[in-house]
Structure 1
Amino acid sequence: MKKFSFNKIAVLLLTLVVITSCVEDDNFEIPKGISGTTEYPNQDAQFNSISAVLGNFGSNNDEPFTYEEEGPGVSEKYTEGYVVSSDEGGNFYKELIIQDSPENPTAAIVIQADKNPLFTQYEFGRKVFVKLNGLTVGESNGVLQLGRLDGEMIDRIPNTQVQSHIIRTDEVATIIAKEVSISDFNDALESQYIKLNDMQFNSNLVVGNATTFASESNDSFDGERVLESCATGGSVILSTSTFSDFKSLNLPANRGSIEGILTRDFFDDFYTIYINTPEGINFDNELRCDPLFEDDFSAGNLNKWTTYNVAGNQEWYYNTFGNPSDSATMSGFSGGAQTNEDWLISLPIDLSDIPTAYLTFQTVKRYSGNDLEVFYATDYNGGDPTTDGTWIALSPALDTNTGSWSSWTDSGQLDVSAAAGGNLFIAFKYTSTSSSASTWEVDNVKVSAE
């Protein structure tokens, strides 16, 4: 009887714990008694760096690689890293991101874990050991992840196994965000905690109106907001979950630095950044670097442009696809490759009081065909550009990956300061032949004074 009574009390206490843990309360505290281990879980275990874990996927022909369960003849295997994600703000859910060093990391990886919240035990900066036996490294949405293999998918580590696979140490390091520029983005940087300097949100989002992180009527799962570099003119998307605690806050209108995790969007179309909380944004400079001219084509038209058809039946048109959406698009394909020459020419851009000016834009190319040609002029009058205007050729970087719609390429800064003191016209010239007709999308066109 005594034993039965003890079990009932235990069940009652367990029930109270479960009920308490399900209350929606953001004021979590670090549980007592889990300060963390001070030594390696198994001195005889085999250590794998995060780079080596990622490398197993590549050496397995980019197919999921599963670590064997430990047993006779199979040693325990571990990796280690520092936590750089936090679900405290609701922007991450049942995933933990670790990198191999608190400063200047060389590799990082996402761990799928069926536990919420995670930050109460694995907070930002906490060093952890990860037992690899039984886990699989594979790709999901273009990002390498660790978890349990379920068919061809990387599933979460079951809740009951999280603490045996992710072992908390007693070390909490200060994480120093890795300073990079948008042009540095590559697969090796994915999942690392990075810092971008001299950034601001696109003026359409914050100048003259207020836009939230992720509470607009067209936000479904994530709010996607365009961040621009004042230094290079390049842009990147900030993604915020519509389940985050800060989704209804307004974007800051100033300029400064932002720290977050570099990853890919859900469809693996482009790089994006997720922040842990708004404290990762330090926009303390009130002087914005808004361009003299910009068009991300989100207005749904080409009203800032003149389209001129020199040859062929196809013309430049507004397209709902872009980076991240909307673009000016031209294709000379219609039932086969067609011969075309088509110009997309900006309306006059006033540089009368500007000593220097720079053009930036992004392109994506699909299918084989001629490259775009890019020009500027100061004396165009609205006629046939082959005879109207003195067009000076520019040398931008253009997309060369004809097999992808997501290989958006920054043009680099193109100096158009020779037009200072008057009007500037920007032109994109498309040509195709009866044997090859590529598709070009142009987006995020800007002319800036710095």
Structure 2
Amino acid sequence: MKSIIKKSALLLLALGLTVSCVNSDDYSAPANDCVDPGLVANKAVLDVKNAATSSPVLYESATEDIIEGYVTSNDEKGNFFKTVYLQTLPTDGTDPIGFAIALDVTTMYGYNFIPGRKVYVKMNGLYTAVTNGILTIGALYQPAPTDTPSVGRIAEGDWKKNVFVGCEQVEESELLRHVTITQAYTNAVLGTLIEIDNVQFADGSVGRKFYDVDSGGGATNHALVSSSVPPLSFAGDGIIRFSSFASFINETVPAESGSIRGVMTKFGSTFQFMVRSQSDIHLSGPRVDAYPALVGANIQFNPTFNETFESYPTTSNYNGQTLANLVNDANIGSKYWSVRTFSSNKYAQFSSFNSNQSNTVYLAFPVLMTPGNKFSFQTKDGFNNGAVLKVYYSTNYVAGQNVDDATLVDITSNFTIASGSTSGYATNFTNSGNYTIPAGVTGNGFFLIKYTGNSTGITTTMQIDNVKVTP
């Protein structure tokens, strides 16, 4: 079962058009009077996107091509900066197309770039490119002749020549699509207004602030996970990104489950979900243990055992493997111990490297506690940048229930655990030495091996083999 910790698993990624900072979230109210620009769209956004390439191209046409879209983003609360996201509003049942316009404007809200407002774009003279899966419109950006050109922001004094905010405004409900977390982290919804249903913040984010000042940088990446049971899988890391200049950065990340509304963006190959304000976060349902303890079907309490892991299939990820004789518990985070193989030898392995979260993972071995019997195991470390293992026994832990509710006796100091392999893997496994079950410790119980790591901190790979209790 999961526990909630107050240490966030943060990811700090390079910043593109999607997010940056603003100097203030004190915005002027948009003008109440609207003068319609009197334009009519005569070009489909899909045609413009299909003609665009990954490199910026100057849009040139013998006719004055005009496209239209409806605003999905909002910089009023500071979580968006100098990029406005829009989408089409199809009437034929097809999916909307999202696109982005880069403008050198810090208060787009003040110019009525607000959700639902129709915007017209005269395309001639602008540059287009499909950047990270989304059509991007703007000016040419190439600081030096040797630099790779890209689509950058239209200058503050120039954008009104091509971009026109209309007076028509539709309700968000006309733009909004409800999606699963599986559907959300895809190119198909980039730039459009979506609401991800059945989600919650990952354990490592709960209790932290939306922007974590300890992490540095201009934004904090938290992680979303599925609150469906069983949890839905999806591409990417479930990132939801908060600018350091968002007006609600000091609010606490909630533990509850529900839905979150916003705009999916992308930097490189990494999806980054963005809310417009705290009111987009609709989490009021009970928290769901989306990554419960995986209890094997053959849990037996014997006075002796010898677990070699040879009877289990191997996996190439940490996404959840049920081991018939054991309990595999992703206590914090969404990753589990997995069985790997090398040189025809199988073993259990875990690492927080590239997990994009905090991890506390238990592997629990059932045993009939018999005073005088000896518990031992072997370990091998890889790319070691810190200690990650602790060892416990418990006589009141119940398989599948919250390990934090059990009494765990720390016996780590009795063992030798592999260390020192900082640039690769150790050649051989290290024998732990024996721990003798003390007098008075009897009955059904568990020995538990715990890995604790963090993708932004200690990520040591640890392998475990030949776990045994002998007379």
Question: Shorter-chain TM-score category?
Answer: 0.5 to 0.7
Q: Secondary structure of 2:139's match?
A: strand
Q: Which of 18, 43, 49 is matched with 2:44 structurally?
A: 49
Letter in 2 for 1:236: G
For the residues of structure 2 that align with 1:113 and 1:172, how far apart are their CA atoms? 21
CA deviations 1:142-169 (Å, max 9, x no partner) are 5431101223111111111222211111
Q: Which whole-Å CA distance do the structure 1 matches of 2:56 and 2:38 have between them? A: 32
Runs of 4+ in structure 1 over 3 Å off: 22-25, 32-35, 102-105, 139-144, 286-291, 295-298, 304-310, 312-317, 322-328, 347-354
Q: Which residue of 2 aligns with 1:124?
A: 115
**Helix, strand or coil at the partner of 1:203:** coil
Matches of residues 309-328 of structure 1 in structure 2 within 5 Å?
311=343, 316=349, 318-323=351-356
Match of 1:67 in 2: 59
8 A contact 1:318–1:327 mirrored in 2: no
Deviations 1:55-77 (A, max 9, x none): 112xx4x3323212x6xxx2111
Asked if 2 retains the 8 angstrom alpha-carbon contact of 1:82 and 1:102, the reply is no
Give the CA deviation at 1:323: 4.1
Distance of 1:155 and 1:324 partners within structure 2: 32
Work out whether residues 25 and 76 of structure 2, in 8 Å CA contact, stay in contact via their aligned partners in 1.
no
SS at match of 1:30: coil
TM-score by length of 1: 0.58
- Give 2:283's aligned residue: 283
Instruction: Write 1 or 2 for the structure with the bigger share of helix.
Output: 1
Q: Deviations over 1:24-47 (max 9, x none)?
A: 562521125434335528xxxxx2
Structure 1 residue 290 displacement after superposition: 4.9
Structure 1 residues 272 and 314, CA gap change in structure 2 (3 angstroms) = farther
8 A contact 1:139–1:154 mirrored in 2: no
Please give the alpha-carbon distance, in whole angstroms, between the structure 2 residues aligned to 1:297 and 1:288. 13
Q: How many residues align?
A: 308
Q: Which one-letter code corresponds to 1:189 in the other structure?
A: V
Q: Which residue of 2 aligns with 1:135?
A: 126
- The corresponding residue for 1:199 is 199
Q: Structure 1 residue 106: deviation in Å?
A: 1.9
TM-score norm. by structure 2 comes to: 0.56
Moved more, 179-188 or 169-178: 179-188
In structure 2, runs of 5+ residues without a counterpart are 1-21, 143-148, 293-328, 362-381, 384-392, 403-444, 449-460, 462-471
**Contact 1:213/1:250 (<8 A) preserved:** yes
> Deviations for 1:1-53, whole angstroms, at most 9, x for unmatched residues?
xxxxxxxxxxxxxxxxxxxxx99562521125434335528xxxxx2222222
CA drift at 1:205: 2.6
Distance 1:205 1:88, change over 3 A: same
User: What's the CA shift string for 1:121-145, capped at 9, x where partnerless?
Assistant: 2211100111111111114455431
Structure 1 residue 85 corresponds to structure 2 residue 80: no
CA distance in 2, matches of 1:259, 1:307: 38
In the aligned structure 2, how far is the partner of 1:102 from the partner of 1:89? 29
Structure-2 change in CA distance of 1:102 and 1:200 (3 Å): farther
Paired with 1:34 and 1:270, the residues of 2 have a C-alpha distance of 38
Q: State how far apart, in whole Å, the 1-side matches of 2:187 and 2:289 are.
A: 29
Percentage of matched positions with identical amino acids:
22
Is the Cα–Cα contact under 8 Å of residues 141 and 152 in structure 2 kept in the other structure? yes
* 1:333-372 to 2 correspondences below 5 Å: 351=399
Report the equivalent of 1:149: 140
Residue aligning to 2:83: 95
- In the aligned structure 2, how far is the partner of 1:294 from the partner of 1:166? 50
More relative contact order, 1 or 2 (CA 8 Å, 6+ apart): 2
Root-mean-square deviation (CA, aligned residues, Å) is: 4.3
Give, in angstroms, the shift of residue 325 of structure 1: 8.5
Contact map agreement 1:237 1:324 (CA 8 A) in 2: no
Q: Secondary structure at the match of 2:51?
A: helix
Aligned CA distance change for structure 1 residues 23 and 350 (closer, same or farther; 3 Å): closer
CA gap of 1:193–1:102, structure 2 versus 1, over 3 A, is farther
Deviation per residue, 1:168-208 (Å, 9 max, x gap): 111111122211122224322211111111111112332xx
Deviations 1:243-297 (A, max 9, x none): 21111111122111111111224xx232220000011111121343453232677
